[in-house]
Structure 1
Amino acid sequence: MKQSPPFVLASASTARLKLLKTVGINPMVCSSNFDESQITETNPLKLVQILAQCKAEIVAQNYQDCLVLGCDSVLAIDGQIYGKPDSPEQAIARWQIMRNNHGTLYTGHALLDGKKQKTLLSCGVTKVYFADIDDHTIEAYVKTGEPLKCAGSFALEGKGSVLIEKIEGCHSNVIGLSLPLLREMLQKLDYSIQSFW
């Protein structure tokens, strides 16, 4: 395993940054400011991989000899795709659908290796089961502002954790970045996670 190049996170997400730091990766951070509305893909798995790749490619233009990681997450319930809510009212309406229900959280990962001119795409998939909560609890949670910053209108690493019954699959994937998946992607590029320690 070779020494890894400098690592760049193509995201402004503090949750993703915290996850990387937890496992010893202290990345440079550069938000892509990519306009997601121009992508109209309706398959959630394909959608998040396309968005992750677009974000990583924009940032990689300025970090050519680095590893650049782009990510994107959506929640799908009954065939409907949910990203970040546009308003508190939308977050409340979504939670009324989500409560006592389950959804699938997709997180696309695009890892670009500038030195090797290689791009790896992958997607983490986790099933999330939501608690049967009343309208008062939903409104109180939305008032905290936390759901407005998150795909699916909840943060597993925050107050939203008490509103989740259980998850099936990778928990860090729900936060925005699957750490086991990242380890595998690094290995495929002949790098190791411990080279960042």
Structure 2
Amino acid sequence: MSTTPDLLNPVPPEQARLILGSTSRYRRELLQRLHLPFAVCAPEVDETPMPGEPPAALARRLALAKARAVAARFPQALVIGSDQVADLDGQPIGKPGTHEKAVAQLSAMRGRTVVFQTALAVVCQSSGYEAQDLAPVSVRFRSLSDAEIEHYLRTEQPYDCAGSAKSEGLGIALLDAIDSDDPTALIGLPLIRVARMLREGGLNALSAAGAA
């Protein structure tokens, strides 16, 4: 398992009370908003969907698998695992990886409503704490022209984002509406749920000592 210290809170995983089990820079940047020291560890989980696995079930399974994988190595820490799968009529849409695949994804989603299934899990092996939740985000895409799709992709190059769009950037211009009860879920980490689960697990972001 590879490990990467957080740039603002460089905590060695062996000493960390909190670990983000993800290589996503978007999730790392979001977690920094809670002002808690944390380490970052790659969970190295196989993300291949099971045959016929619904997007929400896939996201839930992977989020928990990531948290458990890192918690097994660092049993004293609270470990956050998260995964996001775009859901178009029950079909999973992942990260495009290439320009061509991103064009195909946005073309399929224009004028449609896509549910971004953002799953979260928090695990501490030593205490036995384990919780998970799903933060679905309903996103309605505009009826985009081919030229708009091309301009957006060339400008922002969101090839590492599920659904080929960054709502926190120019991608907001692709959309007609966003419906969510956890504002950061669409970016990749639902912080309302994260803060709640950490409190339940004994770590309070609003306590100077971090104790719940």
TM-score (norm 1): 0.89
**1:53 matched to which residue of 2?**
64
In the alignment, is the contact (CA less than 8 A) between 1:146 and 1:155 conserved in 2?
no
1:177 positional shift: 0.7
In structure 2, which of residues 27, 44, 54 is the aligned counterpart of residue 33 of structure 1? 44
The answer for unaligned runs of 5 or more in structure 2 is 1-15
**1:14 matched to which residue of 2?**
25
CA RMSD of aligned residues (A): 2.0
**1:194 matched to which residue of 2?**
206
**2:197 matched to which residue of 1?**
185
**Alpha carbons of structure 1 residues 144 and 61: separation in structure 2 relative to 1, 3 Å:** farther
In the alignment, is the contact (CA less than 8 A) between 1:112 and 1:118 conserved in 2?
yes
**2:80 matched to which residue of 1?**
69
1:145 positional shift: 5.7
Counting helix residues as a fraction of each chain, which structure ranks higher? Answer: 1
Query: Aligned letter for 2:185?
Result: N
% of aligned pairs identical?
A: 31
**How do 1:107-126 and structure 2 match up within 5 A?**
107-126=118-137
1:125-170 Cα deviation digits (max 9, x unpaired): 1111112221112112222463210111111122212222221112
In the alignment, is the contact (CA less than 8 A) between 2:72 and 2:125 conserved in 1?
no
Query: Aligned letter for 1:179?
Result: L
SS at match of 2:185: helix
CA distance in 2 between partners of 1:130 and 1:136 (Å): 15
**Alpha carbons of structure 1 residues 17 and 81: separation in structure 2 relative to 1, 3 Å:** same
TM-score (norm 2): 0.83
CA distance in 1 between partners of 2:75 and 2:30 (Å): 24
CA distance in 2 between partners of 1:118 and 1:41 (Å): 30
**2:154 matched to which residue of 1?**
143
Which moved further from structure 2: 94-103 or 143-152?
A: 143-152
**2:55 matched to which residue of 1?**
44
1:112 positional shift: 0.5
Higher relative contact order (CA 8 A, sep 6+): 1
1:40 positional shift: 4.0
CA distance in 1 between partners of 2:136 and 2:156 (Å): 26
**Alpha carbons of structure 1 residues 16 and 93: separation in structure 2 relative to 1, 3 Å:** same
In the alignment, is the contact (CA less than 8 A) between 2:54 and 2:91 conserved in 1?
no
